[in-house]
Amino acid sequence: MSESRVRRPRRFLVCEPRHFAVQYAINPWMNPDRPVDVDLAQEQWQALIGAYRAHGHTVESVEPVPGLPDMVFSANAAFVVDGRVFGSLFHAAERRPESVHYDTWFKAAGYDVHRPESVSEGEGDLVWTGRYVLAGTGFRTTREAHREAQEFLGHPVIGLTLVDPYFYHLDTALFVLDDDNVCYYPEAFSAGSREVLRRLFPDAVLATREDAMAFGLNSVSDGRNVFIAPRAEALAGALADHGYVPVPVDLSEFHKAGGGIKCCTQEIR
């Protein structure tokens, strides 16, 4: 069945974890008293970049900036569809300076960048399905930003409410497999949002809490290969049963900051 799944080459924007650290706590995963092994983080991040390139994807980089330890989580900096860049306005004051550096990169690359007026954390809470945008709210990105994104992008935006602080961004609770399907953890969502997801994706691959807590849903799929946390073993098995090819990449050092594979990966469409 995996032979019928089609890999589509992607273009990713990343940021080296040269200054990565946990210096503050803005989600339940973060504890400044728990040290980060920066060398290991570098090694893990390089393995992710290597895996992307080995599978035919283009990877470009933003220069990391001292004093911005979370800049490695490039997904949060913008949401890009049809060459339109909907930038970020971070909820936490500590992260707000990141936006300027990413906006500068996009502008230098020839893009116009829309800076949202409401709190919006890029691909952390805005997920492209190929037809419309799934948009998370509840902890970070606001409903006002959902409306703003729809106006700017010209694509329908479907709001989903997150209810578990461990899954504070939509990309920790759901990822897109291809143009037809998604994978998600139902209990991360409100009852109404679960019903919306059931209606939109009746054949979705569902994850357990154990796999969600292992960052199994902070994954990146190219339509065939799924770059996934190695501890999410049951989910990897379910994906394989559905014809996808799991590509385990260990980003455990980044879990200390509440991030994983997708958090480190901004897709430029």
Structure tokens at 112: 């116009």
The pLDDT assigned to 254 comes to 97
pLDDT at residue 12 greater than cutoff 90: yes
User: Does residue 235 form part of some domain?
Assistant: yes
In order, the DSSP letters of 114-172 are EPPSS-B-GGGTEEE-SSSEEEEESSSS-HHHHHHHHHHH-S-EEEEEB--GGG-SGGG
User: Does residue 1 form part of some domain?
Assistant: no
What order of strands is seen across the sheet that includes strand 157-161?
A: 126-128, 133-137, 157-161
User: What average pLDDT does the segment 89-93 reach?
Assistant: 96
pLDDT in tens, 41-61: 999 999 999 999 999 999 999
Tell me the pLDDT band of 4, cut-offs 50, 70 and 90: confident
pLDDT at residue 13 greater than cutoff 80: yes
pLDDT at residue 2 greater than cutoff 70: no
User: Does residue 161 form part of some domain?
Assistant: yes
User: Does residue 125 form part of some domain?
Assistant: yes
User: What average pLDDT does the segment 203-210 reach?
Assistant: 98
pLDDT in tens, 141-165: 999 999 999 999 999 999 999 999 9
pLDDT at residue 108 greater than cutoff 70: yes
User: Does residue 249 form part of some domain?
Assistant: yes
Q: What angle do CA 27, 174, 160 make, to 5 degrees?
A: 80
The three-state secondary structure class of 241 is helix
Q: What is the CATH number of the domain that holds 66?
A: 3.75.10.10
pLDDT at residue 1 greater than cutoff 70: no
User: In whole numbers, what is the pLDDT of the chain averaged over residues?
Assistant: 97
The three-state secondary structure class of 183 is strand
- Whole-model pTM: value is 0.97
The per-residue b/e assignment along 219-254, b for 16 or more CB within 10 angstroms, e otherwise, is bbbbbbbbbbbbbbbebbebbeebebbbbebbbbbb
Distance CA 177, CA 169 (A): 18
* Number of domains composing the chain: 1
Structure tokens at 187: 């209990």
Distance CA 267, CA 10 (A): 7
pLDDT in tens, 19-42: 999 888 877 888 888 889 999 999
User: Does residue 3 form part of some domain?
Assistant: no
Distance CA 242, CA 38 (A): 36
User: Does residue 214 form part of some domain?
Assistant: yes
User: Does residue 55 form part of some domain?
Assistant: yes
pLDDT in tens, 191-202: 999 999 999 999
User: What average pLDDT does the segment 209-216 reach?
Assistant: 98
pLDDT in tens, 65-85: 999 999 999 999 999 999 999
Domain membership of residue 226 as a residue range: 8-267
User: What average pLDDT does the segment 95-118 reach?
Assistant: 97
pLDDT at residue 246 greater than cutoff 90: yes
Query: Which residues are catalytic, by number?
Result: 169, 263
